Each structure stands twice: as structure tokens, then as C-alpha cells.
Amino acid sequence: MADETGEAQLQVRFITKQEQYAVSDSPYAIQSNVQPLELNKLLNGLLKETKPSIEKSVEFDFLICGELLVTSISECLQDKGLSTEDTLEIEYLERFPAPSPQDCLMHDDWVSAVHTHGNWILSGSYDNSIHIWNTKGQHKLAIPGHTSPVKAISWVSFNGDQAVFVSGSHDQSAMLWVWNVSRNSVECVVTCRGHDKGVECLAVSADSKCFATGSWDNNICLWSTSLSDEDNVPVKKKQKPEQGNTREPTSVLKGHREAVSGVQWMDFNTVVSSGWDHLLKIWDCELGGIKQEIAGNKAFFDVDWSPLTSSLITASADRHIRLYDPRSTDSIVKTTFTSHTGWVQSVRWSKTRDTLFLSAGYDGLVKLWETRSPKTPLYDLSGHEDKVLCCDWSNPTFLVTGSCDNTLRIFKSKHATGNA
């Protein structure tokens, strides 16, 4: 059926999981060439009639057959081979608000690692130093200790006034640090040595009892995070010039043929690693063996695991981001996201929204993605003037990125009230 303009009309039914925005599920007749902007106007008009308590207009995203609508409805239907004759169900949800730049935190060299927890940010730099900041952009500490660039960093635990974190460096070591928050003093308690080449990546387990490091020596080492010597054998007594006691790994996972670029814990006994050898490996830490191996097209530069969806995302040298479901019996690659024009260096899942993730690339851009919109990122976060090496976020609206332009940038967005 077409109207006088020659455009086809179709019947649509609006549905949502966000009850506060629910409208009547009666079918509405609309033109097939409408785009998300017109759908937003229509939906806000319906809400104004039925929900007078909602005073301000709400920005929505729209899903058709589980995919975010970024074109006109007619183009979407054509792509999916759907008819305009049938009543179309359109799911809508409150749009994740655009992050805006808040602070630009200067370093003396490239910012190569970042990790957030609550109101605190850790950053690692190519000038061998570690920095602690708060989310308001205030610098708390600059921490010397490593003798080569710091490539990986992570908070381990917060217990009252004491925070523990771990750093990994191209000096072949990982260091466990204790920060006294009220006194703003820090001490290296343990230096972990077991790699023959630089440490490139690390991750702390969900129970904070151990951590894994990946290295240019192609190996993954597992370590205890305990600060006492009794739980860790073997331990060598303090020797100059080491800081703290020296610890050896509890086990070493061998199997990659080139550098290990990323490592993440999937559960308390399972680690996933990415390598320059084009391989993802899923390890059984107790047995020290490989549970699963996934081959890629090019070198992997990073991997992240989402406990919310049991899915992996990877950063690669071919500019693509891929979403993997390692449990799948057919195609393990579920979605490919293409928008970066250079190597993708870092990827991070949202810890609270199961469909959102960040990517950072050599093109100087950070992109915020929705897994249901594989062709177009939700937002491009610009501001860096050189390659972006790392990214992270600790809550739905607080994002941090580090770059070869010597800056750590903070982005914030007004919190969306509904859950996706």
C-alpha cells in the first residue's frame, strides 16, 4: 500500500522492555521511508499523550529483528528480505547518551596502560612511571620503580584505607604495590620475575587472589596476589636492586608461538589469551593445558571477555573487531565491526551494559559500539592527536583513554535512566 507521495506505508507495533516508556501495542500506520529521527518524534508524541509525567523528550534507539536501525525502515526491510505487508515489531530503548570530553591529563611520555576502579584511575607510561588520579582529574601520585615502559596495570583490591594494584613492564617484571589512601603513600611489596622478555599484558582474577601476565617471550605466567610470603613458594629474600621480595610464578602456560598481546580471566580456572601468532587460546589453569584454540586472520592485539554475555571481543591488525562465542557449535565469529582505519589496539566491554564496548585504534579514535549495530559505532570519541593505546571504563558513563600524544583523556555522559 502506498500513499499519495508514492511511498509504501506499513503497520508497526512499538514494544519495549523499559516499562516507564511503554506505549500502547496497537499498530500504527507510518511511511516506510521514515528514519530513527522521525520515529523518535512519533514516539515522544505518543509518550506526551499517555505519560504526562515524562516532561522532557527522550532519545531512543530502535531495533528491528535484533539490529539497531541506522537507515530508513524500507532499507532495513530490503536488507533483511522482509515484506512491508506484515505488521512490523519495532523494539525501542533509551539511547546511551553521547560521552563528552571532561579532562585531559598530561604525562611525560606515551600513555600505554589504564585501569579504573570507582573514583580512581591508574595509568602506566613509557617513561617507566605509574600514576594515580581521581575521576575529577586530580593527580595523586607519580610512582617510579620500573626500569622500562609500563605496558599493563590493574587494580587488585580495595580494603578500607588500603588499595593493592599490579603493574607489568618491558623490564620483564610485574610489581605488586600497596597504596595507603589516607597517607597517599605507596610501597612495592613484591617483584614478580618469571618472564624472559617484556610483560605486555596482565589481568587480575575476579576473586582477586591471582593474576596472569602475558609476555613477548610467548608465555603466560600465573601469580598469587598474596602480600605475605607464607602463601608463596618459592620466594627469594629481598635483594638489591629489587623492590620488595622477589616471587616466581605459580605456573607457566606455554603454547603461543609469538608475543602474547592480551590476557583475561573467564572464570577462576580459565584464562583466554590473544597472540601475534593469529591465535586465541583458552587455558585450563589447573591442568596447565589448552581447552580451546581459535585461529584468526591477522595478529591479535587485545582480547576482552564479558561475563554478562559469555562473549569475547578482539582487536586485530586487519582493522576489524570481532565478537566470538566460544561455546558456538557453528560459526564462532558472531559479528564483525568495521570502522577503524588503522590497527585496533585495545577493546573493553562495558561492565554494566551487556551490548556496549569500547575500541581504541592507531587512527587516533576511540569508538563506542553497540553489538546490535555492527556497521556503525554509536559514537566516535575524538580528541587524541596520535595513536590511542588503551581504554577502560568502570561504570556506565565514565570512560578513560590513553594515547601516544602523552595524554589520558576522561569522557563522561549523562546516565541513561533505563537498562538496555
pLDDT digits 0-9 by tens, 287-300: 999 999 999 999 99
Q: Does residue 191 sit in helix, strand or coil?
A: strand
| CATH class of the structural domain 100-412 | mainly beta
CA distance 288 to 267: 15
- The pLDDT of residue 1: 45
CA distance 318 to 340: 10
- The pLDDT of residue 394: 77
Whether the Cβ atoms of residue 276 and residue 261 lie closer than 8 Å to each other:
yes
Among candidates 151, 150, 132, which has minimal Cα distance to 141?
132
Report mean pLDDT in 10-residue bins for the chain, 420 residues: 63 94 91 94 92 89 94 90 88 92 95 95 98 94 97 96 97 98 96 98 97 98 88 48 81 97 97 98 95 95 96 96 91 93 96 94 96 93 95 86 97 62
Q: What is the DSSP string of 399-419?
A: EEEEETTSEEEEEE-PPPSS-
- The pLDDT of residue 53: 86
CA distance 274 to 213: 12
- The pLDDT of residue 233: 47
Q: How far is CA 55 from CA 40, 186, 406, in A?
A: 15, 49, 43
- The pLDDT of residue 240: 47
- The pLDDT of residue 190: 96
Q: Does residue 390 sit in helix, strand or coil?
A: strand
Question: What's the gap between Cα 279 and its chain centre?
Answer: 20
Question: Which part of the chain has CATH 2.130.10.10?
Answer: 100-412
Overall fold of domain 9-94:
Ubiquitin-like (UB roll) (3.10.20)
Question: Which part of the chain has CATH 3.10.20.90?
Answer: 9-94
